[in-house]
Amino acid sequence: MSASLRRIFACLFVSLGAVGAAHAQAPASSGRPLRIIVPYASGGLADITARLLSEHLTARLHQPVVVENKPGANGAIGTAQVAKAAPDGNTLVYVVSSHVFGRALIPDLPFDPIKDFAPVTLATRTAMVLVASPSLPVNNVPELVAYVRARPNQLAFASAGNGSNVHVFGQWFADLAGLKMTHVPYKGSAAAHMDLIAGRTQIVFDTLGAVQPHVAAGNLKILAAGAERLPQYPDIPTVAEAGYPGFRAESWGAVLAPAGTPAARIDQLNREIVAALKLPEVRKRLEDAGAQVVGSTPAELGEILVTEEKKYGELIRRMGIRLE
């Protein structure tokens, strides 16, 4: 971890330790608001989902619900706050799949992405796609691989930031295909898409919802689906079908609470969040954004976290990706 990140985490944990001690015994019905921390920039799918949930949870829980964006360090800054928060059920974090990358990216991460949290629910799964700049003269994965192999170190893949799932999936694909490409990280997907459209980078893996407007406008083209064939584009094969079995790129969004949160409160939060997710208007908003509503049990989410941390931790270490 870089010195700057280390200082940020140290100051954060000292201040939050005092707050946590003060409220450690505060009951969920204390009248304090329920805080949902989104450890990413505003405007993304995690932020959209958390705010959709907040609109319905206020009435369902009879408690004010506040969403706070705390971006930084690939989600680690905001997530660290929740790891240290009082386990009274009044603080949650909405994380995406890169949450399980934490210990591989930052070996001295000051919290455990599994043990320091109580799973609440896997809220959504999100399809990812491999898209290319319209100026790139390829239309499928075999053509892309041949084109890039003929131009080693001349082309680039974009990402939404160092250590993001977009970065990891892009590097994984390049390694599997034997491609020598430059990684260009951006501060979020929006900036990455603008340079991709302009041809300053050539490809990116991203969520379908994020790129679909650009695809519809003819500004980007889909080369492959990340995990499953897409209902919207049934003729486009997956990366695995295109010759790279074992490759699977998809994202998800999940709700976590601090470890030690009472089981009764976890059950209540799970019940009300899942009910909110299944409301027709919420489901439609999320599907329009490219997400599939899941609404798992806490135990199901816990199994996913453990399995994926092991899988992607090994992959990230092998590829040598670090967040400094």
What is the pLDDT averaged over residues 41-67?
94
pLDDT tens digit sequence for 265-296: 999 999 999 999 999 999 999 998 889 999 99
Q: Sorting pLDDT into bands at 50, 70 and 90, what band is 233?
A: very high
Identify the structural domains of the chain with CATH numbers, from first to last: 3-126+251-319 (3.40.190.150), 128-225 (3.40.190.10)
Give residue 5's pLDDT. Answer: 54
- And the tokens for 166? 């977009």
Interhelix angle 263-277/45-61, rounded to 10 degrees, is 110
Q: What mean pLDDT is reported for the chain?
A: 91
- And the tokens for 221? 């083209």
Parallel, antiparallel, or unpaired: how do β-strands 250-258 and 156-159 relate? unpaired
pLDDT tens digit sequence for 171-220: 999 999 999 999 999 988 889 999 999 999 999 999 998 899 999 999 99
Give residue 117's pLDDT. Answer: 98
37-66: b or e for each residue (b if 16 or more CB lie within 10 Å)? bbbbbeebbbbbbbbbbbebbeeebebebe
Q: Which residue has the tokens 């990230």?
A: 316
Within its chain, how far is the Cα of 225 from the centroid?
17
User: Does pLDDT of 321 surpass 70?
Assistant: yes
Give residue 50's pLDDT. Answer: 97
For residue 43, what are the contacts with CB-CB under 8 A and spacing of at least 6?
A: 188, 190
Give residue 145's pLDDT. Answer: 98
Give residue 167's pLDDT. Answer: 96
User: Does pLDDT of 26 surpass 90?
Assistant: no
User: Does pLDDT of 319 surpass 70?
Assistant: yes
| Helices (runs of H) and strands (runs of E) counted in the chain | 11, 10
